[in-house]
């Protein structure tokens, strides 16, 4: 039996609407007002509020003077947000000096998933001073990695000079790599790019170097060893023939 109110929510009225006997249900005043308010709210959102800074620069001529004042405020907020995000990512940015009693807090118990590079050094050893210079520059280049240095005696008593410089690479409290002594650290003529490559190989930094700076030297050494081996084999062969 048909309901007296065609807008009443009944199963029978729904069937009649489906067959076209009743007109579609009229939207209630509350629903209509809510829809209008929603559309008005969307209309109030300026188009520039959905743009990036780069898009704003391209579309600048399309806005009037009133919009431009709002855009300047918006730009400031966007730059502030970007700056805060950058600062959050770039936590460090310098080679800091620590003492032995800070080792656990600064290195072993460093923030989760943060790479920590610590250089144990003695200022009387020239190679240690060179490594400190390089690490200071790398700390600026890779501010997301924590770089620290410590005078070796403050951390380890009676540490032998032959083991210096010593570089430990930590992550989540574990030693992921270590370079002990002049040779392992790269030699007395160590270049900045060579140390950068070493640290990148163990994952402590994300380098933009495309290949090992020492590749040519390594290739020359391998070639020299091969040539020496061939020469020795040739001499040995000639000696055997002479004996016969």
More confident: 35 or 26 = 35
Backbone φ, ψ for residue 138 (5° rounding): -70, -35
The confidence band for 114, taking pLDDT boundaries of 50, 70 and 90, is very high
Does position 226 have pLDDT exceeding 90, yes or no? no
Average pLDDT (196-222) is 82
Highest mean pLDDT, choosing among 8-22, 42-56, 159-173:
159-173
Over range 205-221, report the average pLDDT: 75
If we measure between CA atoms, which residue out of 18, 19, 24, 20 comes closest to residue 6?
Answer: 24
Owner of token pair 């640290």: 199
CA atoms within 13 A of residue 15's CA, in its CB half-sphere = 6
Give, to the nearest 10 degrees, the angle between helix 126-141 and helix 192-201: 70
Model confidence band, residue 54 (pLDDT cutoffs 50, 70, 90)? low
Enter the DSSP assignment of 22. S
Average pLDDT over residues 140-160: 96
Q: Which residues pair with 117 in a beta bridge?
A: 147, 169
The residue with greater pLDDT, 112 or 229, is: 112
pLDDT for the residue 91: 78
């Amino acid at each position: 039996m048909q309901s007296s109110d065609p807008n009443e929510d009944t199963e029978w009225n729904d069937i009649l609407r489906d067959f076209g006997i009743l007109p579609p249900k009229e939207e209630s005043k509350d629903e209509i007002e809510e829809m209008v308010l929603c559309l008005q709210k969307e209309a109030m959102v300026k188009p520039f509020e959905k743009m990036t800074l780069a898009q704003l620069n391209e579309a600048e001529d399309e806005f009037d003077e009133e919009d431009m004042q709002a855009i300047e405020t918006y730009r400031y907020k966007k730059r502030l947000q970007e700056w805060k995000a950058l600062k959050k990512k770039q936590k460090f940015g310098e080679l800091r000096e620590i003492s032995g009693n800070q080792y656990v807090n600064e290195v072993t118990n460093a923030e989760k998933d943060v790479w920590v590079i610590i250089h144990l050094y003695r200022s009387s050893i020239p190679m240690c001073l060179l490594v400190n210079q390089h690490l200071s520059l790398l700390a600026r280049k890779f501010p997301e990695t924590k770089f620290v240095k410590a005078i070796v005696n403050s951390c380890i008593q009676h540490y032998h000079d032959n083991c210096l410089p010593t570089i430990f690479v930590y992550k989540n409290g574990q030693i992921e790599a270590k370079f002990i002594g002049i040779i392992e650290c790269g030699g007395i003529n160590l270049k900045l790019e060579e140390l950068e490559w070493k640290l990148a190989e163990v994952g402590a930094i994300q380098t933009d170097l495309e290949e090992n700076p020492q590749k040519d030297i390594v290739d020359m050494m391998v070639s020299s060893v091969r040539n020496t081996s061939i020469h020795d084999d040739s001499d040995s062969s000639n000696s055997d023939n002479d004996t016969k």
